[in-house]
Amino acid sequence: MKNKTGRTMAQLKNLGVLLSALVLLSACNVEVKTSTEYLIEGNNFFKKRDYKNAEISYRKALEKSPNNATAQNNLGVILNELGRYDESIDVLATALKTDPKNPIAHYVIAKAYLMKKDFPKAMDEAKMAVELDKTDPIGWKTLGEVALAQGDNDTAVSALNEAVANDDTNDTTHHLLAVALGNQGDFEGQVEEERKALSISAGSYEARLGLIKALMKLGKNDDALKELNSLQEHHPENEELKELLQNSSK
């Protein structure tokens, strides 16, 4: 039987059930989100460095859309930041099945292997990352870090120079390049790169300490002592700095 609007009683009944369900969901504050909405939510948590909530959001995105490569990739990055390296590697391996030409997944896997001290696998992944995208400074930086960890200073200098060529604004990259140059005995180059790092981040302890040591290697003890006294004022209890001050005064 139809009412005056032309709807059957069955249609009206189904409509009533749907409206009741929506009212119940609203009353219970149940949120119905899409995979994309969970992904955006996760990204917002990621920007705030709220990695635990970011992980929850990315996993919810994947429940809605298991093959969402971006959610897989971002979850892998989060797990790496949380120090869950094996999980990160597994998730990113799945992401690479969805998107095999994803350089980010490769260099994050490289970082995970680096933290696990599995240097050969880290090197393979880092090389794959830069092969897929030669313009991404993070890929080159990761390759440089892995090479440094292996004591391969030539590869480290080459990779970190590429990283700097693609992005000259990262103080850590300049410092890593300085370390690699110092390992090669190029202390003038080390001083130059440490100063570049400090021009970007004046409070970098590692870059300031590297600069001091390079100046000492060059016999520029007065300059080194000036930098050392300045750094020691900010870190008065640092034993390494105390020892350097004692040695410089002999």
List the one residue out of 43, 36, 42 whose CA is nearest residue 64: 36
* pLDDT digits 0-9 by tens, 46-101: 999 999 999 999 999 999 999 898 999 999 999 999 999 999 999 999 999 989 99
CA angle, residues 158, 163, 167, in degrees to nearest 5: 150
Is the pLDDT at 225 greater than 70? The verdict is yes
Q: Quick one: which of 249, 209, 213 has its CA closest to 230? A: 209
Percent of the chain clearing pLDDT 90 (strictly above): 72
pLDDT in tens, 175-187: 999 999 999 999 9
Radius of gyration of the chain from its Cα atoms, rounded to whole angstroms: 27
**What confidence tens digit (pLDDT) does each residue in 89-143 have?**
999 999 999 899 999 999 999 999 999 999 999 999 999 999 999 999 999 999 9
Mean pLDDT computed over 208-234: 90
Mention every residue, 6+ apart, whose C-beta is less than 8 A from residue 225.
248
pLDDT of 135-174, one tens digit each? 999 999 999 999 999 999 999 999 999 999 999 999 999 9
| Average pLDDT for the chain | 88
